[in-house]
Structure 1
Amino acid sequence: MLKISSDQALQLVQQHWQITGEINDLPSYADRNFKISGAQGNFVFKIANPNWSYADLDIENAALLHLVHTCPDLALPKIMLAADGSHIIPLNLYDDAGNTLACHMRLLTFVSGQVYAEAAQQTNTDLASLEYSLGLAIGKLDRGLSDFQHPAMMREVDWSISQLPGLIDEIAHVEDAEIRALVQRHLHYFADNESQWRQTLPQAVIHNDANDYNVIVSTVEPDGDHAQQKNSNQASAHESDPVRAHYQVDAIIDFGDMCFHLRAVDLAITIVYALQHAVDISRVKQCITAILRAYQGVHPLSEPELRILPALINARLSQSVLMATRAFRKNPANTYILVSQIGVHRLLRQFEEIGADELEQLMLSAIR
């Protein structure tokens, strides 16, 4: 853990950005993040873990600066320039053992709203319109990134789907025999085909982590575009109920896992996380259809890309299983690692039950 108090963090923001206000810690896996609220607005002060290089942070900032012009419809975090014009500032901190750590700090605007996971878990949420809005948002984001380039874009990150074949040794440690067999099959299929896919299908810098806690939503009135969404998706049994809550996706945050890969991978990842909130098979199909039809309306994939989408989804699910298996072996006291895999295992079994042919036709229905 990086050692810095809230007061010290606020002093740094005042010194470099001339911004002040009330400061509070924000949860973070390895970094130190603080929310600053005051008359000048709401901001996130980010101190990156020393494992993140300047280039790793610069590609995030460069992408957000690029998206200001290419994706104006989303309320993405905005980069705040320091008084000297820089947007990444070096900082030396200490860890719990007193070792000096070379870090970097940044300031971004805070995106207000509710996370997708919370909205999707509410019993009165109109999931059809929420999922459609998610497809629109990730389509707009991917379209905005389609011409983005950066010197660090070819970097490998832990959650790049290209890392899946490197997890092959973890298969033996998957306890559930059915899941182990499915993961083994999906891993080998991906490993056998990835190179050819990347030679023949479009690639781009992708966000790579549109999980249900990185998607910010707000409530809306069920009219205009949302009325059209309801007409183009299967209505839920309660869709006409006036107390149903309607949401739209306003922003996607946390660009730390960006990488260069098949552009279809971003959509596959988005679907994986949205499906955590679609429990039965009929809802799984409806969720995929809603997201895919919306995405196709703003950033359409080709037929060959749609055909491999089930394989990419299964590859990402398999990667999640193997990453969790490795993490649990390293920290067996953290049983939550395996609890969080319940939805992933369910989806692997449901995709197997639906079958490859029906899944492919489901994807192709977006262009028919």
Structure 2
Amino acid sequence: MNAAVSDAFGETLADDAPDVSIAEALALLRRHYGLTGSARTLPGERDHNFHIQTEGEGEFVLKVSHPAEEADFTDFQNKALDHILTVDPALPVPSVRKSLEGEAQFMVGIGGSAPRIVRLVTYLPGQLLSRSLTSSAQDRNLGIFLARLGRALRGFFHPAAGSDLLWDIRKVAKTRPMLAHIVDAGHRAMVERAIDAYEEHAAPVIPGLRAQIVHNDMNSYNVVMDASRPEMVNGILDFGDMIHSPLICDLAIGAVYRWPAEGHPLAPAARFVAGYQSVQPLEIEELGILFHLIRARLALIANIASWQAERFPAKRDYVLRLITEVWASLERLDGLSSADARRYFLDHSKPE
């Protein structure tokens, strides 16, 4: 890995974390939370996560952070969840379970590794969005949910919100060195065009837009839907990519995963934006760059996933789980002009 790639990613993405066994997870649960039960591993990019089913105390997710993760950043997540549940108690997000010592998080060495941060949060039941049937109602409801989440976070701040996070659309140009890991020349060219368009059309506008702390990762594996009514949102997971960022960037990320269907490629995204605007109206400047932000997020996924698949072969299936949809979306959006995309959003994302 060259120096530019290493510097861009930071330690939590550039180095894999030592494994944590189920036995070790259950031992942590007993010792620090006084809970017993069963555990199964959950996939994760940086952390080791376990779905915990206890005997009479409910279900949880035990999170063991990457050794390079900073305590301030996990504290940021804990306090954000507490804030959301104070401002909008009906909003389904995980809640933090404190340890027997009354701590929201603590440091512990596991299997001889460097000390790692351990946390326990409640488990949100349901079916992942990635496995749920799509519908127009689902598009709108997801937009409404994200707008409510943004409103709940609006008055919150934390010193760690300014972290230099690569999963920040504004940093997409930093991922140019990762283009070398995209084998197909046509795919590589599409990603380059998306980055170029972002730098030309969106980057100059970004500094003047309203910003706040946002979730920053409403992807289809971080949202839980009602299993019997897949248009209804049961909750959102994984606050590990939170950041202080323009509000429109958060919306663009969610819009990416409303994959283009038959008809106009932006139709599902526009319905998502319409739902969002029924709670939080957008400004004309925000809508004007939304298309470029969506393409930039797709470019970010393509670059990071291609790099990670090569560096961590054992995680290849996990990091490339959405790559087929990403290439298809980039191809369909590549054929739209900036003016046509902007006009489509202005005409088709009005709240009903």
TM, length-normalised to structure 1: 0.82
Tell me by how many angstroms 1:260 deviates.
Answer: 1.6
Give the corresponding residue for 2:97: 80
Q: Quick check: 258-267 or 353-362, which moved more?
A: 353-362
Residue number among 297, 315, 332 corresponding to 2:278 in the alignment: 297
Give the corresponding residue for 1:264: 248
Give the corresponding residue for 1:238: none
Pairing 1:360–2:342 present = yes
Aligned residues with identical type, % of pairs: 28
Structure-2 change in CA distance of 1:323 and 1:4 (3 Å): closer
Pairing 1:309–2:287 present = no
Structure-2 change in CA distance of 1:330 and 1:294 (3 Å): same
Tell me by how many angstroms 1:268 deviates.
Answer: 0.7
Tell me by how many angstroms 1:186 deviates.
Answer: 2.4
CA RMSD of aligned residues (A): 2.5
Structure-2 change in CA distance of 1:17 and 1:338 (3 Å): closer
How far apart are the structure 1 equivalents of 2:302 and 2:92?
Answer: 32
Q: Quick check: 134-143 or 27-36, which moved more?
A: 27-36
Residue number among 243, 254, 258 corresponding to 1:274 in the alignment: 258
Pairing 1:165–2:173 present = yes
SS of the aligned residue for 1:274 comes to: coil
Give the corresponding residue for 2:67: 50
| Unmatched segments (≥5 aa) in structure 2 | 1-16
Q: Quick check: 56-65 or 353-362, which moved more?
A: 353-362
Residue number among 138, 147, 150 corresponding to 1:142 in the alignment: 150
Give the corresponding residue for 2:41: 25
Kept in 2: contact 1:129–1:246 (CA 8 A): no
Pairing 1:112–2:128 present = no
Instruction: Encode CA deviations 1:160-218: one digit per residue, 9 max, x unaligned.
Output: 11321112233455444443333223212323455532321011111111110100010
The residue correspondences of 1:1-368 to structure 2 (distance < 5 A) are 2=18, 4-37=20-53, 38-94=55-111, 99-120=112-133, 127-171=135-179, 174-192=182-200, 196-219=204-227, 246-275=230-259, 278-282=260-264, 284-330=265-311, 336=317, 340-365=322-347, 366-367=349-350
Instruction: Encode CA deviations 1:33-85: one digit per residue, 9 max, x unaligned.
Output: 22222211111111111121101211111111110022333211000122322
Instruction: Encode CA deviations 1:60-117: one digit per residue, 9 max, x unaligned.
Output: 11111110022333211000122322101111113xxxx5311011111111110001
Structure-2 change in CA distance of 1:171 and 1:84 (3 Å): closer
SS of the aligned residue for 1:327 comes to: helix
How far apart are the structure 2 equivalents of 1:20 and 1:339?
Answer: 33
Give the corresponding residue for 1:229: none
Tell me by how many angstroms 1:328 deviates.
Answer: 4.4
How far apart are the structure 2 equivalents of 1:173 and 1:25?
Answer: 29
Structure-2 change in CA distance of 1:129 and 1:46 (3 Å): same
Q: Quick check: 190-199 or 293-302, which moved more?
A: 190-199
Structure-2 change in CA distance of 1:176 and 1:2 (3 Å): closer
Letter in 2 for 1:156: D
How far apart are the structure 1 equivalents of 2:24 and 2:43?
Answer: 17
| Unmatched segments (≥5 aa) in structure 1 | 221-244
Kept in 2: contact 1:281–1:350 (CA 8 A): no
